[in-house]
Amino acid sequence: MTEDVLIRTNGPIGHISLNRPKALHALTLEMCHAMSAALTAWAGDDSIKAVILDHAEGRGFCAGGDIAFLRNSALNDGGVSGRQFFHDEYQLNHQMFTYGKPIVAFMDGITMGGGVGISQPAKFRVATENTRFAMPETGIGLFPDVGGGWYLSRLGRRFGQFLALTGARLDGAECLWTGLATHYVPHNMVEDLKARIHDHPDRISGILSEPVGTPPKARIEGNADRIAKHFASDSYEDILASLEAAIEAGDDWAIKERDTLGTKSPQTCKVALRQLATSAALTDFADNMRMEYRIASRVLTRPDFAEGVRAVIVDKTNDPKWDPATPEGVTEDLLDAIFAPLPEGEEWVPLG
């Protein structure tokens, strides 16, 4: 059992606390396995009525997956251990999505990448003033995985495409407004709410809805029309052209978003748009995870991932040399290869 995740039961509550504070509780393979094993055990335990997912000490909630481990795999073992990580992490994501008992995820802090993957499947997703939600993968040559295709494509008004491409960070009020959070509560009430959920696990929705006060206005609401207009297309070139046209008309917001996109991996941006368009038509979350595992298996060992992590996280030079370097260089043939089925016996499968 890893000490990086604390697992215990408290009366009718199964409680999982991420406990890797120096890494902002980023997920390791061992943490995914421990969480999955606990959920499996509680699924068959009639005394457990609900599951609480939060973080232990320090800032939280979860900054993502173990990026350093994945980069090391890409560079040194041909992606073998990295694919194993993705496979089992996605099994946990799917297990949570289909779980028979309510899960309450407290997104009380940074909630990015893998943190999104373990909070979005929860029936109750609680944001606070500390929440900072993002899928920043385009900046490191990865893609918004862990179910991102499913969740982001279903936000409506092209918010998902905007978040996937730009990696924009949302605060707690914005998470509530977009639907990424089901509830917003002040941080100083979180522990009291957990205690009340323990006492009344059959009344979780009411307990989370009771805190007095109105969340702050969602800033993203003010840009909703711009996002819907400029990110309307599933063609990356169309989105860039729309922003350029707005810039010519004097729109400062468009300058900021165009410049942001200029730092991102063209490959990842095109992958994300196809990923979301494909996922929007799916009816089974398992099919989404199968698709995302195919993508992950390919992009893990393509040049952009190791280069993006080097530039943004390792060396912090923020000067990635993307390959292909331009959107036009990311061909439909390349995308087809990234999305193609894997060889027999290598496809992702759910737990079971």
Residues annotated as catalytic are 65, 114, 137, 145
d(C-alpha 338, C-alpha 329), whole Å: 15
String of DSSP letters for 219-284:
GGGGGHHHHHHHT--S-HHHHHHHHHHHHHTT-HHHHHHHHHHTTS-HHHHHHHHHHHHHHHT-S-
Residue 110 pairs in a beta bridge with 61, 132
On whether the CB atoms of residues 318 and 191 are closer than 8 A, the answer is no
d(C-alpha 260, C-alpha 207), whole Å: 40
Strands 50-55 and 170-171: unpaired
The angle subtended at Cα 31 by Cα 30 and Cα 32, nearest 5°, is 90
Check the CA dihedral 215-18-292-91 and report its sign. Answer: negative
